Amino acid sequence: MLKDLFKSKTIKISLEICAGFLVFFALVYLLVYVEKDSSQASIKDFQNALWYALVTLTTVGYGDVFPATLYGRGIAYIFILMSIGIYGILIGQFTSLMATIKENKKLGYNGTSFEGHAIIIGWNEFGKMVLDQLIGVGKQVAIVTNKRDDIDLINDQYPNSKHIFILYADFNGYELLKKTNIEQSSIVFVNLDDDTEKLVYILNLKKVFPNLEYVVTLENGDLKNTFISAGVTNTISKHELSSKLLASYMFEPDVAAYSEDIMSFARADSDYDIKQFLVTSNNPYVGKPYQEAFFELKSKYNSVLIGITKRDKFGNKKLIKNPLGDLKIAPGDYLIIILNGKAFKLIRRAFHVNEGYIRDKH
β pairing state of 214-218 and 187-190: parallel
pLDDT at 295: 95
Overall pTM surpassing 0.75 (yes/no): no
Q: Supply the DSSP symbol for 355.
A: B
- With b for 16 or more beta-carbon neighbours within 10 A and e for fewer, the 217-236 pattern comes to bbeeeebbeebeebebbebe
Q: Which of 150, 38, 16 is nearest to 86 (CA)?
A: 16
CA atoms of 307 and 321, how far apart (whole Å): 4
At 285 the pLDDT is 95
Task: Say yes or no to pLDDT of 326 above 60.
Answer: yes
Phi, psi of 320 (to 5 degrees): -110, 115
pLDDT band of residue 7 (cuts 50, 70, 90) is low
Per-residue pLDDT band at 203 (split at 50, 70, 90):
very high
Residue 127 confidence class, pLDDT cut points 50, 70, 90: very high
For the chain, first and last CA: distance in Å? 31
* Comparison of pLDDT for 1 and 271, the residue scoring more: 271
The stretch 44-61 carries a mean pLDDT of 78
- More confidently predicted of 324 and 170: 170
Band of pLDDT at residue 90, cut at 50, 70 and 90 = low
Residue 8 — pLDDT band, cuts 50, 70, 90? low
Model pLDDT, residue 303: 94
Average pLDDT across the chain, whole number: 86
Confidence (pLDDT) at 362: 45
Alpha helices, DSSP H, located in 290-354: 290-301, 341-351
Sign of CA dihedral 238, 239, 244, 246: positive
Contact by Cβ (8 Å): 53, 24: yes
Residue 83 pLDDT level (bands cut at 50, 70, 90): low
**306: pLDDT strictly greater than 60:** yes
Strands 164-168 and 214-218, by their bridges, are unpaired
Give me the sheet containing 141-145, strands edge to edge: 164-168, 141-145, 118-121, 187-190, 214-218, 234-237
Q: What is the pLDDT of residue 163?
A: 93
Residue 18 pLDDT exceeds 90 = no
Give the domains, in start order, of the chain with CATH numbers: 2-106 (1.10.287.70), 118-241 (3.40.50.720), 266-351 (3.30.70.1450)
pLDDT score of 269 more than 70: yes
Contacts of 264 (CB under 8 A, 6+ apart): 133, 136, 273
pLDDT at 314 over 90: no
Taking only the tens place, the pLDDT of each residue in 130-178 is: 999 888 888 999 999 999 999 999 999 999 889 999 999 999 888 899 9
Partnered with residue 221 across adjacent β-strands are none
Residue 146, judged by CB atoms within 10 A of its CB (0-12, 13-18, 19+), counts as: middle
Average pLDDT, integer, range 275-297: 94
Q: Where residue 360 falls among pLDDT bands split at 50, 70, 90?
A: low
**What secondary structure, in 3-state letters, does 250-291 show?**
HHCHHHHHHHHHHHCCCCCCCCEEEEEEECCCCCCCCCCEHH
pLDDT at 278: 93
Can you give 78-142 as a three-state secondary structure string?
HHHHHHHHHHHHHHHHHHHHHHHHHHHHHCCCCCCCCCCCEEEECCCHHHHHHHHHHHHCCCCEE
Least confident of 54-63, 110-119, 150-159, 330-339: 54-63
**Contact by Cβ (8 Å): 217, 238:** yes
Q: What pLDDT does residue 9 have?
A: 61
Cα–Cα distance for residue pair 132/329, rounded to 1 Å: 32
Q: What pLDDT was estimated at residue 4?
A: 56
Residue 277 has pLDDT above 90, yes or no: yes
Rounded to a whole number of angstroms, the CA Rg of the chain reads: 32
pLDDT of residue 189 exceeding 90, the answer is yes
